[in-house]
Chains A and B, each alone.
Chain A
Amino acid sequence: MTRDEIRQAVVRVLRDVAPEVRPDAIDPSADLRDTLDLDSVDFMNFVVGLHAALGVDVPEADYPKLASLDDCVRYLAAKRGE
């Protein structure tokens, strides 16, 4: 999977958790929880969705590494060995 494909998958999961979010309105370097106003349940759904979409089980201790969209892509690509 390319980084672009990972990015698209992350955006799909985000849209599933927060359907009102417009993909083109996501600032890739901004904190997702802050800018999209995700609560702890939304964030948990996001992490569960990432696992289903990309097969990466993110441990709780690594949640801070999923802060922005860019962070998510970097972290997930590394975990997938890509």
Chain B
Amino acid sequence: MAEFRMPSLGADMEQGTLVEWRVRPGDRVARGDVIALVETEKGLIEVEIFTGGVVESIVIEPGATVPVGTVLAMIRGDAESSPAEPLPTPPPAAAEPQHPPAAPPRPPPSTPAPHVRVSPLARRIAAELHVDLATVRGTGDAGTITKADVERVVAEHTVAAAAWAARAGVRDHQASMRKVIAAAMARSKRDIPHYYLATQIDMGRALSWLAAENAKRPVSTRLLPAVLLLRAVALAVREVPEMNGFWIDGEFRPGPGVHVGVAISLRQGGLVAPAIHDVDRKTIEELMRELLDLVKRTRAGVLRSSEVSDATITVTNLGDQGVESVFGVIYPPQVALVGFGRLVERPWVVDGTVAARSVVMASLAADHRASDGHRGGRFLAAIEHLLQTPEAL
């Protein structure tokens, strides 16, 4: 039997509030499934499970605020010899529900008006998900309510519930997110001996290539310069792997993959840096889709647990804010942060003559315990080199 616990979503998280279960006892779950929605200082997080099996029992009910490590549910493994959940968690502490917030309103189940037709599958799903069929508009033949209609209402409810929760706690969220950022950044500046490097990178080739590609592409597959920069950072890590990972207990531990945290500033205040996984192994199109989706979900206030806890290196791109350069603060326990400023036209010497070129200032803030300036320089040079052959990114 595996225990599904309140995960630690960052070094400073002490507790979380269980908002909603996405599963019920008896449901089959696979590794990576989102099974619960948890509210933390970083906002609403969709928590994924790391073992496959069947939900045996729910231990903590929605509304309860419990410490990190508390058992939330019991999972019967596919094979009882399967490894338990590998998330590092402290020993479980007693659950102490604190002022449970009211659950998002959900209408009581009822039956639709007699003249409305409902497909048997839609009726069953509606019953399972406690959806009031009177609130569902049918789009099937003669207005029949179909499975898709029920699922659409469920999706709208979920988004509305998340938005509702985010709105209700918006002031609290901003204050607590500020505290989380303050703690992480103070710890970074206290513990990490940063060194800083910067170089201007010629983006002429990359931007010409992008413009030509985008002219050919429909809007859904068009690319942004940001995605080329992310990809270049991830590939440069292959050349200088000591930039990718963590400084823990006095030693460097390489990252288990190249999971690039993308710093996203929230317009209502605060900052999060959720990760895109395995950036070095995805195509540029996959990365673009994931970046669009990640930013959208961040704005809506719902991220996944693996995204908020897995980053192995962070990229901050302040070009849109108009600044030319940024020297970042490393997010502990990571060891490096790459910053990009605004794309600007500058006089640039190409083959002995001066030409106007688009350039970007790339900077590196790195942990001097894990690497030296020489290696940091190699890393920035690798990023620059990679951006000169955009078609190979």
Please measure, in the bound complex, the distance between the C-alpha atom of A44 and the C-alpha atom of B224, giving whole angstroms. 8
Please measure, in the bound complex, the distance between the C-alpha atom of A57 and the C-alpha atom of B163, giving whole angstroms. 29
Interface set of A (CB-CB < 8 Å, partner B): 16-20, 36-37, 39-42, 44-45, 47-48, 51, 57-61
B163 touches A39 (CB 8 A): no
A45 touches B292 (CB 8 A): yes
A44 touches B222 (CB 8 A): yes
Residues of A within 8 A of B98 (CB): none
CB-defined A-B contacts under 8 Å, sample of 17:
A17-B296, A19-B163, A19-B299, A19-B300, A20-B267, A40-B224, A40-B319, A41-B226, A41-B295, A42-B299, A44-B224, A48-B220, A51-B219, A51-B220, A60-B214, A60-B215, A61-B215
Most chain B CB neighbours (cut-off 10 Å) among A39, A48, A61: A39
User: Is B240 interfacial (CB 8 A cutoff)?
Assistant: no
User: Is B34 interfacial (CB 8 A cutoff)?
Assistant: no
CB interface residues, B 275-294, toward A, < 8 Å: 291-292
Please measure, in the bound complex, the distance between the C-alpha atom of A39 and the C-alpha atom of B298, giving whole angstroms. 13
Q: Which of A18, A58, A60 contacts B211 (CB 8 A)?
A: A60
B299 touches A17 (CB 8 A): yes
Residues of A within 8 A of B320 (CB): 39-40
B295 touches A57 (CB 8 A): no
User: Is B353 interfacial (CB 8 A cutoff)?
Assistant: no
Q: How many residues of B contact A (CB 8 A)?
A: 22
Residues of B within 8 A of A37 (CB): 267
B215 touches A59 (CB 8 A): yes
* Chain A nearest Cβ from B320, distance in angstroms: 4
User: Is B88 interfacial (CB 8 A cutoff)?
Assistant: no
User: Is B81 interfacial (CB 8 A cutoff)?
Assistant: no
A44 touches B292 (CB 8 A): yes
Q: Which of B218, B226, B291, B319 contacts A57 (CB 8 A)?
A: B218
Q: Residue of B at shortest CB range from A39?
A: B320
Please measure, in the bound complex, the distance between the C-alpha atom of A18 and the C-alpha atom of B222, giving whole angstroms. 20
Residues of A within 8 A of B225 (CB): 40
A47 touches B226 (CB 8 A): no
CB interface residues, B 213-237, toward A, < 8 Å: 214-215, 218-220, 222, 224-226
Q: Residue of A at shortest CB range from B227?
A: A41
A41 touches B292 (CB 8 A): yes
A16-B296, A41-B291, A47-B219 given; 19 more Cβ-contact pairs under 8 Å: A17-B299, A18-B267, A19-B163, A20-B267, A20-B268, A36-B267, A39-B295, A40-B224, A42-B295, A42-B299, A44-B292, A45-B292, A45-B295, A47-B222, A51-B218, A57-B218, A58-B219, A59-B215, A60-B214
CB interface residues, B 320-334, toward A, < 8 Å: 320
Q: Residue of B at shortest CB range from A37?
A: B267
Residues of A within 8 A of B222 (CB): 44, 47, 60
Chain B, residues 245-272, CB within 8 Å of chain A (1/0): the string is 0000000000000000000000110000
Residues of A within 8 A of B301 (CB): 19
Please measure, in the bound complex, the distance between the C-alpha atom of A42 and the C-alpha atom of B89, giving whole angstroms. 36
Q: Residue of B at shortest CB range from A20?
A: B268
B219 touches A57 (CB 8 A): yes
Residues of B within 8 A of A58 (CB): 219
Residues of B within 8 A of A16 (CB): 296
* Chain B nearest Cβ from A54, distance in angstroms: 11
Please measure, in the bound complex, the distance between the C-alpha atom of A37 and the C-alpha atom of B268, giving whole angstroms. 11
Please measure, in the bound complex, the distance between the C-alpha atom of A28 and the C-alpha atom of B226, giving whole angstroms. 29
Residues of A within 8 A of B219 (CB): 47-48, 51, 57-58
Chain B, residues 300-323, CB within 8 Å of chain A (1/0): the string is 110000000000000000011000
Q: Residue of A at shortest CB range from B301?
A: A19
Q: Residue of B at shortest CB range from A61?
A: B215
* Chain A nearest Cβ from B161, distance in angstroms: 13
* Chain B nearest Cβ from A30, distance in angstroms: 16
Residues of A within 8 A of B268 (CB): 20
Residues of A within 8 A of B214 (CB): 60
Most chain B CB neighbours (cut-off 10 Å) among A17, A18, A48: A48
Residues of A within 8 A of B296 (CB): 16-17, 45
Residues of B within 8 A of A61 (CB): 215
Most chain B CB neighbours (cut-off 10 Å) among A19, A40, A42: A19
Please measure, in the bound complex, the distance between the C-alpha atom of A59 and the C-alpha atom of B214, giving whole angstroms. 8
* Chain B nearest Cβ from A1, distance in angstroms: 19
Q: Which of B163, B215, B218, B224 contacts A41 (CB 8 A)?
A: B224
